[in-house]
Every structure is written in structure tokens, then in C-alpha cells.
Amino acid sequence: MNQLVAAPVPRLPRVNRYLAFGAGLTVLALAVALVGLAYSPYAPSKVDLLHRLAAPSPAHLLGTDRFGRDVLSRVLAGGWRSITLGFGATALGLAIGLPVALATGFHRGRLDQIVMRFVDALLSIPTLVFALLVIVGLGPGLVQAVLALGIAASPKFVRIVRSAVLDAASHDYVTAARARGESGLYIQYGEILPSVWAPIIVEGSINVGFALVGGAALSYLGLGTQPPHADWGVMINEAQKYISVSFWPLLGPALAICASVIGFNLLGEGLRDRLHVQRSFRDD
Amino acid sequence: MTDPLIAIENLTVSFAVGGVLHPAVKDLSLTLHASEVVGLVGESGSGKSTALLAVMSYLPGNAVVEAGRVLHGGVDLLRASRETLDDVRGRRIAMIYQDPTTALNPAMTVGAQIAEVLARHLSMEGARARERTHELLRLVQLDDPPRVAAAHPHQLSGGMQQRVMIAMALAGEPDVLLMDEPTTALDVVRTLHRQIRSAIVFVSHNLAAVAQLADRIGVLYAGELMELGPAARVLEEPSHPYTRGLIAAVPRIGARRLPQGIPGTASRDPQRFTHCVFADRCAFTADICRSSRPALLVPSSGGHLSRCHFAGEPSRIGAVPGERATRATHDRMHETSPLLEVSRLSVEYRRGAGFLGLGRAHAVRAVRDVSFRLPRRRVLAVVGESGSGKSTLARALLRLTPAAQGRIVFDGADVRAFDAGHLRAYRRRAQIVFQNPTSSLNPHKTVADIVARPLVLEGVPREDRRSRVLATLRAVGLTEAYLDRHPAQLSGGEKQRVALARAFVTEPLLVVLDEPTTALDVSVQATILELLLEQKERTGCAYLLISHDLAVVRQVADEVLVMRNGEVCEIGPAERIFGSPSHPYTRELLAAVPDLEPPAARNSV
């Protein structure tokens, strides 16, 4: 048998711009949260009724809100709560949703039919209402809000990831794994999971933003972050009532949420491209 | 000679991928005259599809026409306005696509789709259009046109859909038909061409299919036109080493000889056109081949062109490929107790069971009462059309699908009675290789991980794994350099070699080959077949070869089992099945295989 000479390896993109940009934004959001734990220019709940809804100035870089509180200080101070809420709820939702999606999509059959009808029933409840139902049982507070939003998000993850699992499971490499006697768990986590990263990343990063805003709604009802503390969602919620007077209080927290969501999304996509080479060079 | 219907002049097309231009077609010139059939043959990456799409001016968005033009009626189609193209496409030039299931609209009746073309291009409506639709369907040899016209695509068989698509292409009464990989409807097209005499350009990877239809054949390789000439000349006196290699690689049903592969893979280097693109794989490469690009030369007489420096000196590039030594048939005296013995095996699917299986289910028998014996070191081929149950049979043997009835005895043990532990042991000794190597390798793993995994399962210690993986990779013709690659960085043939390595690394006794070469290029297919036979000799395993390609089966099988609708039609030694088939269905299958020789009927035209 003639030995094949290894053809030159197609070049992979060395510096992935998504990855760099996404990682930068994510690091920025995390840095804001960390800095806010230790430092803010003003006390975040210091009221200054003489400077209400002020535009940005050297004294208040992001302006002030309806009580004259410094927006930058509140963005910094609320950062860790928002990050915990957004990423925590998403991580929890995935932690519940992924195993269910992998098991049902891989095994199919009766279990799949029962679980998926149940998931469909849960999906028919609006996420926020579902979160409220959970929090009624748990009581108010940040940790409870994370739990509530995470549990409420999980059916959505099951639905979306399961369809990707079904697609991946139809590939011959899954049949090949079964034919060589791999365990079901190995096939789910070793063979299928790497193939379903794309929907996980897209849905996960969207959910980070959703959890932030959902957390604000819970806080508004007195069930999430407790006043006078703030998180980015709460700040947006408060500021939108005064949007006709001044949009400055909205800008800071909105930018912070945008940066985290876009950063997380790009980071995820970049990681996927980086880790999982799927470039095809077909031209015919 | 009259003006050509279509003249492709010095066409160079590249694709922009990641900011780099990858040339797909270089300097292609080709003419098509009225009622002529030109076949372009090439393997993947040869640029044949790009050439075909360029004629329609249907190139994808990232295609860049770097030079050349496509003339039709004095107009350069590559630079024509949208309006001009709208009137040319479907009316003067029509395309017949490879896959009717995606080319036909599933939401419209077949008749309505044909009527659309009639209304758009011939302003034909109402009863006249209906009548014409039926005429067209009759023209493509479909019975009962009114019934077919009223059907939706899914109500028709694949073959009927293909004919409908041809009828649709004919509706605009085009002068030129373009066909992408016509494989199943060859006979229809041939009869049709005798009746309507429109010119046809078609592309195919299948040299035998091209031989059935074409007046002239163009051979494309890595974007270059390597050889062009009258069909009989190109097939019988090929003057380019690549064409010769390609012909030698085609499995022939008429002769039991091993097809011969061409080593290596086609170059994708954007700079490849500075020399002969085939130089790396050619057996007759000289210095000039690596330093200058050959021109299209006339090797012998007019109308025949070859892009080889030695086209004028046929003796320099060896002899025309002749018959190769016949493969030694096995000595039947050595037949021992069978490795695999299957008796009265049936497999059922439950259909229509509904939610939680509460509905009324009915069992569909996919495989019925199949019995056979497979001794060690032998190859049993299971042949049949898609839906014949041959893949289900293979899956049932490996217990990937439960069997309903019957016995499977492997090496003396009852496979259906295996508990989890025995099943695991069985699966190490019975392996499977799939048709599509892209789907059978996890794109997220490296070659090293893929090939080592069965050893991990077997509990082979880490330090021994590497040497066994390397030994197996070498046995399938790969080197250490491949260890860290991902499947996306491999060619189709290389991927299939990795899949083979994964199957052979645990030294199985039985390997199920599910259409192992169908997804591969012809020149690679031959190499893989050769490799499979080599592995069999090396490891002493037996093969169960699932295939619909009788020409491939002819080359490697000892025994043949013909299946239809889940049942065995005929089983017996390969020589007898191919030499004197007793079942009418087997004869039908054999008659449908295209061969390289142009059909005798064509000579009378």
C-alpha cells in the first residue's frame, strides 16, 4: 500500500476577531462588576435632589437618576448582582435543560414523549409568570431570583437543544459509537454535546439579557433585588418612566447589559469556531 | 460547421473564501453545437459544477469570473442583464437538477409546476397548457399523464420525479439542456434525445454514465480541461495519463479485475496552474511537468485535445490500460465452520403507534426470513435497491436494531441472546464502516482520538494505544502527520481511511461495510477497495458488504445475496450470480448497470 503524503493542512484563522472582541467585552463587564464591589465615585444610594435627572458632566460621568443618585456609581455597584443574575440564571437553566435535552433526544421513545409534552406544557406559561410561581414558593431575594429565572428558562433550553441533539444523533458517528459498545452517557456527553454548542451559545447569550430584564421585573414587584440596592435591570426599569424627561439614566445600565450580552455571544461563537473546526473547502 | 449554440471561451472562475481566491475553473474553452451531447466528467473539486453553473450564469455569490465569456446567440451570458437572463433561462437553456426531491416544489402539483413554465415562457394557458403538460409527461415515458399531473411530488417515486423534472425542463422548448449528475434516468434521456434533438451538456463523476450519453467527452481535473474529444476516442484511446488512470479506476461489471486507484489527492493549491495540475499524481512526470503548464495539444487527429506535455508522444505515457490480472478466487476446499450464520431472520418496524404507543400500530416487515452463512476471510455482498432492507439487515446483525425472529450465530454463540457484557465483547469483534465518511467521523475530534477510542473501551493501557493507533493508520496508508488533524482537514478518501482504521484497530472478525465507497471519487474508490481486500488478508476478517453498486460487488464479493422488499431473491457464488442469474430481478439489476462501452444502439444514430 502506498503511503499517502500528508497534504498541507488548510490554514485555520489564527486570530479570531470575534473571540478577541467578545472576550474583551466580557472581561469589561466582569471588571465593572468587580470594581463596583470595592469602589464607586459616590455612595450608590446617596440622594441629591438638587441634581435630579442631570445630563453627564465631569462630576457625574453618566448623569444622575430621578433622585439625583450618580448613575455610574449605581452601574458599578449593581454590576455583580446583574452578572450573578444574568449568568447564574442562564447557567442554572442550562444545567437543568442540557441533561434533559441530551437524554430525551438520544433515547427518544416513551420517556421522550412524556417529558416533551410536559416541557411543552411548561413552555405555554410565560417565562416571567413561571418565574413568579417559583419565587412564590422560595420567597424574595437575589438568590431566589436566580433560581426562579434559571428554572423558568430551562424548558426553553430543552426544546432548542433537543432539536440539535436529534440532528447530531442522526449522524453515523453516533451509530458507530453504539456499534462499538459505548455507554449512552458517553455518547451523549462525549459525542453529541460538542456538536450542539451552536444553539446553546446563541440561546444562552440571549438568555443572559433576558434574565437581567426578567430580574428587573421581579425586583419591581419587590421579589428580586431589594431597594435601595440596584442592578442594571432595576435601573432600566426605573429610568424608563422618565424617558421623556431624560434618557441619560437609561444609557449607563443599557450599555452595560448590551456589552455583557454581545460580549458573551461573541465569546461563545468565537470559542466554538476556535475549538471546533468545521470549515469546508468544497467548491464543487 | 455552423456557429455553436454555446461557446465557452477561456473561462476562469475563482471562489473567494476567507479573503483568498481559490480558482475552480481555469481557462476553459468548450463549444456546444446543435443537437450535440457533451459530457464533462470529473471528480470532486474538478470544477465541473462551476462550469455548468457558468453556462446558466448561475454562479454563487462568492464566485469571481476572472476571465472569459460564455456566448449564446451573440450575447455574453456572464455579463448579460437580469432581463436577458430571465428570457434565456428555462426558455433557451434549461437545467435538470440532480436531486428531484429538492428541485420540485412539494406544495404544488406536478402539472401546475409544468404549467408555470408554459405560462412564463410560451404564454400558454388553460386547456392548451393542460394538453401540452400531458404531452410532455408522455414524452418522458410516464404512463397516465393526467394522473401524474394531478399528483404532488411526494406521491411519485424517485424515478418518476426525475422524469417530471425532465418534462419541466423541456416545457420551455429549450435549445440546450444542462444536466447535473444524471444517473437514474439515463435511458429516458437517451431516447428523448433521439426524439427532440436538443443539445445537452451534462456533468458527472461517473465515467460510465458519460459513456452512455455523450458524443464528446471533456475530462476535468482540479479546474483544468485535461482532455476533450469524441466519446469513443477518449474512452478507447485516452491520450492523457489522468484519463487513463480514471478509466482504470472504474469497476467494470463485465470483468472480474480489480480497479486501479490513482494515488494521492487533487491539488487545491491556488498556484497549481503554473505547472501540470496532475504532476503530483502522474506516473510519467518529468521535469517539464513541474515547471510549465502544458497547452491543449492535438495528440493524433482533429477534434481530440489533451493537456499533456507528452500528448504527441504516446509511448512516453505508457500503454492504454488493459485488463489487469484477475483476482484469485478463494479455494473452496478451505471452507471451515462459518463465522456468521443467520437463519430465518426477520426485522419489523412498528408504524403508526402514535403517542406513547397508544394508537393502533401495525408491524412493517423490513427484513423477512433471511438466511445465509458467512465463512471467515470471505466477502458476502448484499445487493438491492434503496428500501430493499439491506441496511436494516446489517443493523440487525450488529444488534443496532432488534430482530423480530430468527437466529444470528456468531463464532458459535447466539447473538440475540447476548447479555450486556457479551454484547460489548461482540461489538469489539464485529465492526461497521459507513457510506459517508463525513457523517461517520465526529467533526470535533482528532484522528488520534477517533482511532484510539475503541482501544480505550477495550481497556488497552495508554502507553500501548499510541503504537497500535499508528500501526493501524499506517496499514490504511496514513502517516503520523494525520494524528492531530480534524476530519474537516481531510479529503473524502482520507476520512474513509480513518473510518477504516477505527474499525480495524481492535482487529474485528466481522466488518459490515455499508456502501463503503459510494461517497468517494472513482480514483479514490478503487484505492479503498484495494485497501479493504488488503486488510482482509492481513487480519483474516470477513466482510458483509452492503451495496447497490453491482460493478463494485463484482470486484470483491465471493458470495452475493440479492434482496428486494426485505426478502432474498437469490443467493449464491458471485461468479454464478453475475454469470447466469436465475432470478428475473437479478437480471434486471444487472442490465441496468451502465458500462464504459458506448451502447451499441448509439452507433445507428
pLDDT digits (tens, 9 = 90+) for A2-38: 444 444 444 445 457 778 888 888 888 888 889 988 8
B48 to A284: CB separation less than 8 angstroms, yes or no: yes
C-alpha–C-alpha distance, residues B207 and B219, integer Å: 9
Q: pLDDT for B9-22, tens place per residue?
A: 999 999 887 778 88
Residue B597 C-alpha, separation from nearest chain A C-alpha, in angstroms: 27
**Residue B482 touches chain A, beta carbons under 8 Å:** yes
C-alpha–C-alpha distance, residues B485 and B267, integer Å: 18
- Residues in chain B closer than 8 A to A195 (CB atoms): 442-444
Residue A208 C-alpha, separation from nearest chain B C-alpha, in angstroms: 26
Which one of B20, B180, B442, B476 makes the best mutation probe of the A interface by having the most chain A beta carbons within 10 Å? B442
Residue B138 C-alpha, separation from nearest chain A C-alpha, in angstroms: 34
Nearest by CB to B477, which of A1, A8, A281?
A1
Which one of B26, B204, B399, B444 makes the best mutation probe of the A interface by having the most chain A beta carbons within 10 Å? B444
pLDDT at A278 over 70: no
The mean pLDDT value of chain A amounts to 83
- Report the SS3 class of residue A13: coil
Q: What is the pLDDT of residue B150?
A: 93
- Report the SS3 class of residue B511: strand
Cβ count near A99 (within 10 Å): 15
- Residues in chain A closer than 8 A to B357 (CB atoms): 110
The fraction of chain B above a pLDDT of 90, given in percent, is 39
pLDDT at A204 over 90: no
A171 to B439: CB separation less than 8 angstroms, yes or no: yes
A114 to B489: CB separation less than 8 angstroms, yes or no: no
Q: Which residues 530-549 of B are in CB contact (within 8 Å) with A? A: 530-531, 534
- Residues in chain A closer than 8 A to B264 (CB atoms): 4-5
**Residue B284 touches chain A, beta carbons under 8 Å:** no
Residue A195 C-alpha, separation from nearest chain B C-alpha, in angstroms: 7
Cβ count near B108 (within 10 Å): 14
pLDDT at B330 over 60: no
Q: What is the pLDDT of residue B237?
A: 85
C-alpha–C-alpha distance, residues B305 and B299, integer Å: 6
In the 8-state DSSP scheme, what is residue B594? -
**Residue A284 touches chain B, beta carbons under 8 Å:** yes
Nearest chain B residue to A196 by CA: give it.
B444
In the sheet that holds B63-72, the strands lie side by side as B20-32, B6-17, B63-72, B75-76
The region of weakest confidence among A88-92, A176-180, B203-207 is B203-207
Residue B344 C-alpha, separation from nearest chain A C-alpha, in angstroms: 23
A2 to B441: CB separation less than 8 angstroms, yes or no: no
Q: pLDDT for B44-57, tens place per residue?
A: 888 888 999 999 88
**Residue A5 touches chain B, beta carbons under 8 Å:** yes
Q: What is the pLDDT of residue A168?
A: 92
Nearest by CB to B477, which of A4, A9, A110?
A4
Region for B144 from its dihedrals, namely left if φ exceeds 0, alpha if ψ lies in -120 to 50, beta otherwise: left
- Return the exposure string of B256-272: e unless at least 16 CB atoms fall within 10 Å of the residue's CB, then b: bbbbbbbbbbbbbeeeb
A180 to B428: CB separation less than 8 angstroms, yes or no: yes
- Residues in chain A closer than 8 A to B505 (CB atoms): none
Span between the terminal Cα atoms of chain B, in Å: 19
pLDDT at A188 over 60: yes
Q: Is the peptide bond before B598 cis (omega within 30 degrees of 0)?
A: no
The mean pLDDT value of chain B amounts to 86
Nearest chain A residue to B488 by CA: give it.
A278
Q: What is the pLDDT of residue A11?
A: 47
What is the interface size between A and B, counted as CB pairs within 8 Å? 119
A283 to B15: CB separation less than 8 angstroms, yes or no: yes
Q: What is the pLDDT of residue B196?
A: 86
**Residue A15 touches chain B, beta carbons under 8 Å:** no
**Helices (H) and strands (E) in chain B — how many of each?**
23, 21
- pLDDT confidence bin for B601, thresholds 50/70/90: very low
- Report the SS3 class of residue B140: coil
- pLDDT confidence bin for B555, thresholds 50/70/90: confident
Q: What is the pLDDT of residue B603?
A: 43
- Residues in chain A closer than 8 A to B479 (CB atoms): 3-6
Bridge partners (DSSP) listed for residue B8? B30, B70
Place of cell 487527429: B301
- Residues in chain B closer than 8 A to A279 (CB atoms): 488
**Residue B453 touches chain A, beta carbons under 8 Å:** yes
B268 to A281: CB separation less than 8 angstroms, yes or no: yes
Q: What is the pLDDT of residue A9?
A: 46
A113 to B398: CB separation less than 8 angstroms, yes or no: no
- pLDDT confidence bin for B428, thresholds 50/70/90: confident
Q: Which residues 388-427 of B are in CB contact (within 8 Å) with A? A: 398, 400, 423-424, 427
Q: Which of B318, B348, B604, B382 is nearest to B513 (CA)?
A: B382
Nearest by CB to A179, which of B24, B432, B479?
B432
Asked casually if ipTM beats, i.e. exceeds, 0.85, the reply is no
Mean pLDDT of B244-269: 78
**Residue B261 touches chain A, beta carbons under 8 Å:** no
B434 to A176: CB separation less than 8 angstroms, yes or no: yes
- Residues in chain B closer than 8 A to A175 (CB atoms): 400, 432, 434, 440
Query: Given the DSSP bridges, would you call strands B199-204 and B176-180 parallel, antiparallel or unpaired?
Result: parallel
Q: What is the pLDDT of residue B359?
A: 67
Nearest by CB to B443, which of A2, A7, A276?
A276
Bridge partners (DSSP) listed for residue B573? B559
- Whether residue B72 contacts residue B174, with contact meaning beta carbons closer than 8 Å, is answered with no
- Residues in chain B closer than 8 A to A281 (CB atoms): 17, 22, 268
Q: Which residues 256-275 of A are in CB contact (within 8 Å) with B? A: 275
pLDDT at B254 over 80: no
- Whether residue B96 contacts residue B32, with contact meaning beta carbons closer than 8 Å, is answered with no
Mean pLDDT of B175-189: 82
Mean pLDDT of A239-260: 86
Q: Is B601 exposed, middle or buried (0-12, 13-18, 19+ CB in 10 A)?
A: exposed
The region of weakest confidence among A67-81, A210-224, B73-87 is A210-224
Q: What is the pLDDT of residue B1?
A: 55
- pLDDT confidence bin for B597, thresholds 50/70/90: low
Q: pLDDT for A118-174, tens place per residue?
A: 999 999 998 888 898 888 888 888 889 999 999 999 999 999 999 999 999 999 999
A277 to B443: CB separation less than 8 angstroms, yes or no: yes
Q: What is the pLDDT of residue A1?
A: 41
Instruction: Write down how long chain B is.
Output: 605
Q: What is the pLDDT of residue A63?
A: 85
- pLDDT confidence bin for B604, thresholds 50/70/90: very low
**Residue B51 touches chain A, beta carbons under 8 Å:** no
A284 to B47: CB separation less than 8 angstroms, yes or no: yes
Q: Which of B489 and A192 is assigned the larger pLDDT?
A: A192
Write the single-letter amino acid at B377: R
A191 to B442: CB separation less than 8 angstroms, yes or no: yes
Residue A183 C-alpha, separation from nearest chain B C-alpha, in angstroms: 10
- pLDDT confidence bin for B255, thresholds 50/70/90: low
**Residue A14 touches chain B, beta carbons under 8 Å:** no
Q: pLDDT for B446-480, tens place per residue?
A: 999 999 999 998 889 998 999 999 999 988 888 88
The region of weakest confidence among B38-42, B190-194, B216-220, B519-523 is B519-523
A181 to B434: CB separation less than 8 angstroms, yes or no: no
